[in-house]
Amino acid sequence: MNVLSKIFISVLLVIASSCSTLSGLRKTKDNPDTNAPVGASVISKPGAKSPTISAVDEQKWIELSQSTQPGRDKLNGLLATGKWQEASEEARRELEKQPGDVGAMTALAAAQAMGRNYEMAGYYAGIILKSNPSHADALNLLGLRWMMGAGNRRQDLDEAISIFRKATESDGTHFAATLNMGYLQLDIGDSQGALESFSLAKTRCGQCFEAEYGAGLAAMRAGNWPQAKSTFEGILSRDQSRAAAQYQLALVMSRGFNDANKSADLLQNLVSDPDARFKDAGAVKRAANITLRRLRATDGSAPPPEETTEPRGGERPARTKN
């Protein structure tokens, strides 16, 4: 499991009470809902053992996943808890009850994506889109196929962005594609585009961490250090356990404000974690430790060349497919 996924799996959501999109659906751990609302959206990351955003508490998903009663609830539970192979089987059973059922087919496609089989996810999403060309969840999964596919050439990424955009436009409540578009724009260096995407995502997900965090990164990339700083500080003010935000704030202080001391303090605090406030932050802590050492070694200058990761020839480095 890669570093970032571990970071995000460990991150729990703080959902603003003003969230319009998930109003009534999103619950905090202190106020969990034990029943999955009909039509509720669930947001997960591939490989994650619990949803990134969901209206139902984690324990409920586990219970549902372990249910002896087959059906959509169990399927949702399996998906939410990352049991994508079992989810696939359950989804097929659901499809056998109602072939072509969009919900079950979406779940099957989502399960493939959960298992990082993006080609199959895209294939099943394509089946949905034949009859529902504007199905945002399916468009999102198809976009992931282009975004995460084996080819991953620039044209593929453009296609992915185009599809994410279509998903975003086709469903005013959908925001996974908006987030995906933002992070992809961020990764290809389109900071402005990313800022716009995350801005939109924030309105849809109720200032969710993923959108806020992306917006902070985009601000960093755009060199808008004050905005980046305030964004990460804002995240931390709402949830001090956000290790990634603490790490990025340290980088902002170092690069944007030449405040190596502040940056080092933040990193040191993250690494040592005296208040034990950063939960499941191992990967971020390791990155922070390396960066802290670099800061001290280079006095805030660029990291040593041997640390770079450079793509081969005409190919980008293959992305991990678990």
Rounded-to-integer distance, Cα 91 and Cα 101, Å: 10
Q: Is 306 in the site for other proteins (CB under 8 A)?
A: no
Q: Is 220 in the site for other proteins (CB under 8 A)?
A: yes
- Of residues 128 and 241, the one with the C-beta less far from other proteins: 128
Q: Is 297 in the site for other proteins (CB under 8 A)?
A: no
Binding residue for other proteins (CB under 8 A) from 22, 243, 251, 270? 251
Taking CB under 8 A as the rule, which mask of x and - marks residues 89-108 in contact with other proteins?
Answer: --xx--xxx-xxx-x-xxxx
Distances (CA, A) of 162 to 128, 177, 210, 256: 18, 10, 21, 32
Q: Which stretch binds other proteins (CB under 8 A): 26-34, 111-119, 234-242, 271-279?
A: 111-119
Q: In b/e form, how buried is each residue of 239-249, taking b as 16+ CB within 10 angstroms? A: eebbbbbbbbb
Label residue 321 left, alpha or beta by phi (over 0 means left) and psi (-120 to 50 means alpha): beta
Q: Which stretch binds other proteins (CB under 8 A): 15-23, 115-123, 234-242, 272-280?
A: 115-123
Q: Which residue has the tokens 């990134």?
A: 52
Query: Burial, 114: exposed, middle or buried (Cβ in 10 Å; 0-12, 13-18, 19+)?
Result: buried
Taking CB under 8 A as the rule, which mask of x and - marks residues 150-179 in contact with other proteins?
Answer: xxxxxx-x----------------xxxx-x
Tokens of 16: 């603003």
Q: Is 41 in the site for other proteins (CB under 8 A)?
A: yes
- Of residues 241 and 248, the one with the C-beta less far from other proteins: 248
Residue 63 host element (H or E): helix 58-65
Q: Is 274 in the site for other proteins (CB under 8 A)?
A: no
- Of residues 177 and 270, the one with the C-beta less far from other proteins: 177
Q: Is 305 in the site for other proteins (CB under 8 A)?
A: yes
- Footprint on residues 45-84 left by other proteins (CB under 8 A): 45-46, 52, 72-73, 76, 79
Classified as helix, coil or strand, 172 is: coil
C-beta of 280: minimal distance to other proteins in Å?
15
Q: Is 120 in the site for other proteins (CB under 8 A)?
A: yes
Taking CB under 8 A as the rule, which mask of x and - marks residues 226-245 in contact with other proteins?
Answer: --------------------
Q: In b/e form, how buried is each residue of 274-283, taking b as 16+ CB within 10 angstroms? A: eeebbeebeb
Rounded-to-integer distance, Cα 200 and Cα 169, Å: 11
Q: Is 287 in the site for other proteins (CB under 8 A)?
A: yes
C-beta of 123: minimal distance to other proteins in Å?
4
Rounded-to-integer distance, Cα 78 and Cα 265, Å: 41
- Of residues 196 and 265, the one with the C-beta less far from other proteins: 196
**Sign of torsion over alpha carbons 319, 224, 6, 107:** negative
| Residue 153 one-letter amino acid | R
Q: Is 147 in the site for other proteins (CB under 8 A)?
A: yes
Query: Burial, 308: exposed, middle or buried (Cβ in 10 Å; 0-12, 13-18, 19+)?
Result: exposed
Binding residue for other proteins (CB under 8 A) from 12, 16, 127, 200? 127
